[in-house]
Amino acid sequence: MIQINGVAHTNISVSNWSSCRDFYNQLLPFFGMERVFDGDNLVYHVGGRTAFAIQPCAPEFENDRFVQGGVGLHHHCFRARSREDVDKAHQHLIGIGAKIVHFPEEGDWAPGYYSVLFEDPIGIRLEVNYVPGNGVLAESAGFNPSGDF
């Protein structure tokens, strides 16, 4: 057995490269992530003990949108340090034109779970959440996967 040290990076392929590139270049720096590479076919941001990259999809998929519940990624969640940061993220998302799926709200995934759920320009679902303390590892917690994700 090993014990991992977090998520090193997530890399997503997107259609509508120009719109998605602009969206993530506004979103990720707001999260304190630094753009360390910005090329014609890859943008890579690092911060918060992780990295997030986007790249254009293969040409035959350029007109496709993300399908929630299809094979592959369901959603990506960024962990915030406070409820206030979730609220600040929500305001920023409105400012950059993100589609808000659900406004900041409490959920029953873990004690104190608080999140905002949104979509990028091609419908990839993203979340910003805050969970105090030990979250689902708390003795009183019961993992309850019943949220709208």
For 67-97, write each residue's pLDDT tens digit.
988 999 999 999 999 999 999 999 999 999 9
Task: Enumerate the β-bridge partners of residue 44.
Answer: 37, 53
Q: Would 19 be classed as within a structural domain?
A: yes
Average pLDDT over residues 101-107: 96
In CATH, what number is assigned to the domain containing residue 39? 3.10.180.10
Q: How far is CA 66 from CA 61, 72, 101, in A?
A: 10, 10, 15
pTM: 0.88
Domain of 105, in residue numbers: 10-59+75-137
The predicted structure's pLDDT at residue 133:
81
Domain assignment present for 64: no
Can you tell me the mean pLDDT for 93-109?
95
Give how far Cα 44 sits from Cα of 32, 33, 38, 96, 130, Å.
Answer: 13, 9, 7, 19, 24
Q: What is the mean pLDDT of residues 9-30?
A: 97
Per-residue pLDDT at 144 exceeds 60: no
22 domain residue, yes or no: yes
The predicted structure's pLDDT at residue 126? 97
Cβ atoms 138, 119 nearer than 8 A: no
User: According to the model, what pLDDT value does residue 121 have?
Assistant: 97
143 within a domain of the structure (yes/no): no
**Any idea which of 81-85, 116-120, 142-146 has the lowest mean pLDDT?**
142-146
pLDDT band, very low/low/confident/very high, at 142 (cuts 50, 70, 90): low
Residue 144 is assigned to a structural domain of this protein: no
Check whether 7 has a pLDDT greater than 60. Answer: yes
Residue 92 forms part of a structural domain: yes
- 125 domain residue, yes or no: yes
Query: Domain count of the chain?
Result: 1
Instruction: Decide if 26 is inside a domain.
Output: yes
Residues belonging to the chain: 149
